[in-house]
Amino acid sequence: MTAPLTLTIENAIATITYNRPEKLNAMTPEMAQLMWDAVHRINASDEARAVILTGTGKAFCAGSDISDLDRYATPWDFRNRPEYCDALRALLKPSVAAINGYAMGGGLEMALSCDIRIASDKALLAAPEIKLGWIGGGGMTALLAHSIGPSNAAMMVMTGDPVDAAKALQWGLVSEVTAPGALLERAHAIAATIASRAPIAAETARLNLQAAYNMPLEKAVAYERDLQAICFATADAAEGRAAFAQKRAPVFKRR
């Protein structure tokens, strides 16, 4: 049986692929556990320096499999389930969402939990939970409001209607739109560029961006300066300075 979620690590890039195309890559509790397992493996790996998330077939991910939601005995059990979006936010390495098709509900939340989002021009993105009687619970409202502003976030969350790739680009929900056949190539190019940079600095930049959302400006600048000092003390920073002086490419070792 084909695994519904796969992880590969090659050339410093980890690729998580949702692989349940017959169900539009809808997530099950078992897939959520596989996501946590993949994140733990990536975080522990010095080889993996950047992460790509994508899906097979015509969907990135359609969110949680609705047919699985009745398995929870109580709403409290549902509230405390292993959350696949939490897994993504636990990643230490920079991440790129390659949105190849439908990104709905929890699928959109997973894309929003990535650092960079690019989309196929066939992609559709939506927060459709309101059509079924609830709202998103994996960070939908906060992440959308940060990404596209409160009015556009309200439009998506309160109507549940999808936006196409062109609108997503206009709103800043994604950074780039490509032809479907070029999407993974472009995602790998972005991830390869990130993977070529000093790994500790890249991971620190991710941490700093996340913190900046939650801090007043003065505290955010002070925190950034602290993180800069930590990076400056690494062997990779010394290597970067030496390579610059010697006019050669640096060799970073995540040290």
User: Above 90 in pLDDT, residue 62?
Assistant: yes
Q: Which of 10, 22, 30, 129 is catalytic?
A: 129
| Rounded distance between C-alpha atoms, residue 228 and residue 76, angstroms | 41
Question: What domains are defined for the chain?
Answer: 5-195 (3.90.226.10), 197-246 (1.10.12)
Residue 203 is a catalytic residue: no
Residue 129 is a catalytic residue: yes
Please state which of the ranges 58-67, 72-81, 244-253 shows the lowest mean pLDDT. Answer: 72-81
Q: Which of 30, 109, 203, 224 is catalytic?
A: 109
pLDDT digits (tens, 9 = 90+) for 139-185: 999 999 999 999 999 999 999 999 999 999 999 999 999 999 999 99
Question: Percent of the chain, pLDDT > 90?
Answer: 87
Q: Are 170 and 25 in contact (CB under 8 A)?
A: no
pTM confidence score: 0.93
Task: Tell me what the pLDDT averaged over the chain comes to.
Answer: 94
Which pLDDT score, from 0 to 100, does residue 73 have? Answer: 74
User: Above 90 in pLDDT, residue 205?
Assistant: yes
Q: Identify which has the larger pLDDT, 213 or 231.
A: 231
| Rounded distance between C-alpha atoms, residue 96 and residue 94, angstroms | 7
Q: Are 94 and 187 in contact (CB under 8 A)?
A: no
